[in-house]
Amino acid sequence: MRFVGLIILTVGIATLVMVYRLPLLIFLLSFEGTPNLEPPSDKEQGRWVDDYYTVQSIDDRTIAIGEPRYWQANYSYLIMGSDSAILFDSGPGVRNIEPLVRQLTPLPVTVISSHLHYDHTGNNHRFNSKAMLDIPMLRQQAHLGKIELSASQHLGENEGFAVPALEVNHWWAPGQLIDLGQRQLEVISTPGHTPESIMLYDTDQQQLFSGDYIYEGPLFGFLPGSSLPDYLRSAEQLIGKIAATTIIYSAHRSASNGIPLLGYRDLTDLRDTLLDIRAGTVTGDSYYPRIYPVNEKMKLYTDVPWLVNWETIGSP
Ligand SMILES: [Zn+2]
């Protein structure tokens, strides 16, 4: 009888752990806090503008702003036309980015984040003009021009960043062309990492600004709102849309120096990995999150594969 009780208890605990695996993982991570800033490297390819930020020109209208001392090595992009500019991502807010942006351009700047995680939205409040992806999920969350984020949309509490209410002045729809004056950028909805993830695509210059959907290092496809079916659909959509010579400017770097760049091939490798996961022809490492190698630059971290419902329709 005691043996049966033990089995029931074990099965009960295992079921609870399985059901609450994601909040449990986030709870465990919350004990980690923010690692200290790395010392500034004198080998950095970007130019140090102070003791924290680096800048590196992509061309005379596009600048990468790096935070190589922050443990996630974030990259935000200042994308300029002849009349106005976009700041794509604003970093975790460890340091105010606005004075640097003002130094770099006299143009009016609109900030938009690739998604709502804390390390991409931390300085949005410092700009007057703030855009947001126009999808039902975010429209429904907006009240009086502000979006109260949930803790699981923001994830910043682990590092001591309070969950903000983000102001919105402009709603940009998926597929919309944003005219900066002699330069247009297309807003592309790319759910996968999170439902509201976007990229910006400069068709003329074949530049794709990718956020956290793809970058060198561990790709997180198991976070709150992450979806492998969405990840796959976004990859297929992008592969059908962008030119094969497109350069991808991503939001984090790990091993490389300077701006974290990827290419079309990295996108097709990611698509192929997702197809293999769906087909069950790759097993991956570890149990949760499950880790699949994509290529020499990337790994994809996912939910437990047998719990993924590949039939689900995209969330936004
Ligand atoms: Zn993210």
- Ligand 1 centroid to residue 256 C-alpha, Å: 19
- Ligand 1 centroid to residue 12 C-alpha, Å: 32
Q: Which of 296, 300, 268, 292 is nearest to 193 (CA)?
A: 300
DSSP character at residue 163: P
- Ligand 1 centroid to residue 115 C-alpha, Å: 7
- Ligand 1 centroid to residue 1 C-alpha, Å: 49
pLDDT of residue 4: 75
- Ligand 1 centroid to residue 176 C-alpha, Å: 23
Sequence-ordered list of residues with C-beta below 8 angstroms from that of 247, at least 6 positions apart, any chain:
206, 207, 208, 261, 262, 263
Q: What is the pLDDT along the chain (316 residues), one digit of tens a residue?
A: 677 777 777 777 666 666 667 666 666 666 667 789 999 988 999 999 999 999 999 999 999 999 999 999 999 999 999 999 999 999 999 999 999 999 999 999 999 999 999 999 999 999 999 999 999 999 999 999 999 999 999 999 888 999 999 999 999 999 999 999 999 999 999 999 999 999 999 999 999 999 999 999 999 999 999 999 999 999 999 999 999 999 999 999 987 889 999 999 999 999 999 999 999 999 999 989 999 999 999 999 999 988 888 987 655 5
- Ligand 1 centroid to residue 175 C-alpha, Å: 21
pTM value > 0.85: yes
- Ligand 1 centroid to residue 306 C-alpha, Å: 24
Q: Residue 215 CB: number of other CB atoms within 10 A?
A: 26
Query: How far is residue 132's CA from residue 109's CA, in Å, rounded to a whole number?
Result: 14
- Ligand 1 centroid to residue 297 C-alpha, Å: 18
Question: Token pair for residue 178?
Answer: 């944003």
Question: Partners of 63 in the beta sheet?
Answer: 57, 78
Question: Partners of 220 in the beta sheet?
Answer: 301
- Ligand 1 centroid to residue 276 C-alpha, Å: 24
The Cα-based distances of 85 to 77, 135, 170 in angstroms read 10, 23, 14
CA atoms within 13 A on the CB side of 19: 6
- Ligand 1 centroid to residue 48 C-alpha, Å: 25
- Ligand 1 centroid to residue 219 C-alpha, Å: 9
DSSP character at residue 95: S
Backbone angles phi, psi at 204, to 5 degrees: -65, -45
pLDDT of residue 312: 77
pLDDT of residue 16: 65
Query: How far is residue 190's CA from residue 199's CA, in Å, rounded to a whole number?
Result: 7
Query: How far is residue 245's CA from residue 235's CA, in Å, rounded to a whole number?
Result: 16
Cβ proximity of 232 and 190 under 8 Å: no
CA atoms within 13 A on the CB side of 258: 7
- Ligand 1 centroid to residue 254 C-alpha, Å: 15
Strand, helix or coil for residue 56: strand
- Ligand 1 centroid to residue 293 C-alpha, Å: 19
pLDDT of residue 311: 86
- Ligand 1 centroid to residue 5 C-alpha, Å: 42
Question: Token pair for residue 108?
Answer: 């009016």
- Ligand 1 centroid to residue 182 C-alpha, Å: 31
- Ligand 1 centroid to residue 252 C-alpha, Å: 10
- Ligand 1 centroid to residue 213 C-alpha, Å: 8
pLDDT of residue 198: 98
- Ligand 1 centroid to residue 223 C-alpha, Å: 9
Q: Is 133 left (phi over 0), alpha (psi -120 to 50) or beta?
A: beta
Q: Residues 239, 299, 190, CA angle at the centre, nearest 5°?
A: 35
Question: Partners of 77 in the beta sheet?
Answer: 64, 88
Strands in 217-221's sheet, in edge-to-edge order, are: 217-221, 298-302, 290-293
- Ligand 1 centroid to residue 117 C-alpha, Å: 5
Backbone angles phi, psi at 246, to 5 degrees: -60, 140
- Ligand 1 centroid to residue 272 C-alpha, Å: 22
Query: How far is residue 16's CA from residue 5's CA, in Å, rounded to a whole number?
Result: 16
- Ligand 1 centroid to residue 220 C-alpha, Å: 8
What structural domains and CATH numbers belong to the chain? 32-307 (3.60.15.10)
- Ligand 1 centroid to residue 3 C-alpha, Å: 45
- Ligand 1 centroid to residue 193 C-alpha, Å: 7
Question: Token pair for residue 264?
Answer: 């079309």
Cβ proximity of 223 and 151 under 8 Å: no
pLDDT of residue 5: 78
Q: Residue 138 CB: number of other CB atoms within 10 A?
A: 19
- Ligand 1 centroid to residue 226 C-alpha, Å: 10
